[in-house]
Every structure is written in C-alpha cells, then in structure tokens.
Amino acid sequence: MGLFVASGEAVDFTSGAEFSPVAELNIWYHVLNCGFRVAMLGETDFPCISSERVGTGRTYVGPANPPIGDLGYGSWIEGIRNGRLYFGDGRSHFIHYQINGHHVGTGNIELPIPATLVVTAQIAARLEEKANPKSPRAAWRLEHARIPGTRSVMVEVVVGQPLLKRQSLRVVSWWRFGIEIRIQRISWVGLRILPSGHTHPIFVRAGGKPVRAFRRSAEWCLTCIDAVWQRNPLK
C-alpha cells in the first residue's frame, strides 16, 4: 500500500468500514500521528468487495448550516475538511463530541501539557436483545462489539496510537458519555466503538506546536513507501 496525503486547501480522506478494522485504523492512526489531519470516511465498494448492499460503511457530517438545495453538498464537503464527522457501519452514533467543552471540527484545543481532559459525547449503539446467528459477517458491525451475554458495548478513548481508557456502556438509546483522562504529551483524541464506529479526532496542542506524536509512526510510513518501491520498481 502506498501513502499519499494531500495538503494545502485540498480535502483529503481515507476510506474505511469495509476491510479489517485493525488494518484500516492502523494506517489512519499512523498518518494522524505524523501530523496529517486526514479524515476517515465510511465507504462501500459495491459489488467488488461487499456484495451485501450499498451503505455498509457510512459517513455522518455535521454541516455548519442546514443544507439547502445544491449548496448542501458544499457544506458537507466543508464539514469533512473541518473534521465535523464520524463514520462506521451506521449502527452506532456519536453526537456533540467535545473535550473541555470544545467541539470536534472547530479547530485545535490549546492546553498546557500535561493536562486533564473531560471527554463528553452523546452516544447511541442499539443492539437487539439477543445476537442473531444469521447476522452478516461484515468486518465492521455493531454485533461484533457486543459484550457476551449483554446488550452492552465498550466505548474507548484513543489518544494517539495507544488505547488510553475504555468504559462498558449499555447503550440502548442515547447515552450521555463522560470520562476524565490525563495526557502527558501533545496528541489527538478520538472515541470509538470497535468495530462499529469512530469519531474524527480532536487535536490537543500546547504552545502552538503541531501534533506529531510518535516518531515510529513516521518511520512506519517510510517503511511502507520503501516496500512499495521495492515491489514495484520503475522500468
């Protein structure tokens, strides 16, 4: 896999919610750790990869204003550019994701590091009372997040590459999620229900320094590029 990231005024994104969640999130996390604010969008490569239906991967964008006519598309694109979004299989939802009252997609949050963060959101993830054995085996599906014998799922807070905190929630209808975390370095912070949904991250900075959390992520990306050239040399 090659790594190409557009910068400047371009709206760049990577697509997911179709293959292995671990593989898709791995490359996305590494790119975020390098300082690139690339969005992850849900997609359906129908019928080549998924023959179940269109819409196995979905993207939810919060436009700045209600969409009106053709102007709605421009507002939707601007929402992606600014990161006012989450993606997944359409069975879990994250509304009003904030850190210390700072909403996702509204720029950086500047704090002294180390810092205590209050992470809040409204989350929904409705499971049926019992697991359906005939449920499609798509890689991204809320059913795979079920804690055995319950209607609960695990909501996780991700800070940079490592998982920082997780909390078991019985999310049948809208749930007001709130948790306090402590971070020791500049980084990005996101919420996920694996393998069903993931928010765009909020970027926590200090002293105007960019979010470049892990050197090993840059080395990983370089290794991928070298591997592509080795496998596909110019002729």
* Count of the separate structural domains present in the chain: 1
Q: Are strands 187-193 and 197-199 parallel, antiparallel or unpaired?
A: antiparallel
Number of alpha carbons in the 13 Å side-chain half-sphere of residue 40: 26
Q: Report how far residue 9's alpha carbon sits from residue 207's, in angstroms, rounded to the nearest whole number.
A: 24
Range of the domain at 26: 13-231
Residue 124 lies in a domain: yes
Residue 6 lies in a domain: no
CB 13 within 8 A of CB 40: yes
Residue 1 lies in a domain: no
Residue stretches of the chain with pLDDT short of 50: 1-2
CB 98 within 8 A of CB 120: yes
CB 153 within 8 A of CB 146: yes
**For 173-198, how does the pLDDT look when each residue is reduced to its tens digit (9 = 90+)?**
678 888 898 888 888 999 999 999 99
Residue 4 lies in a domain: no
Residue 2 lies in a domain: no
- Which of 51, 63, 67 lies closest to 18 in space, CA to CA? 51
Residue 182 lies in a domain: yes
pLDDT of residue 171: 57
Element (H, E) at 42: strand 39-42
Q: Report how far residue 52's alpha carbon sits from residue 58's, in angstroms, rounded to the nearest whole number.
A: 14
Q: Is 185 exposed, middle or buried (0-12, 13-18, 19+ CB in 10 A)?
A: middle
**For 21-34, how does the pLDDT look when each residue is reduced to its tens digit (9 = 90+)?**
999 999 999 999 88
pTM over 0.95: no
How far the first Cα of the chain sits from its last, in Å, is: 19
pLDDT of residue 67: 79
Q: Report how far residue 97's alpha carbon sits from residue 89's, in angstroms, rounded to the nearest whole number.
A: 18
Residue with tokens 């049948």: 172
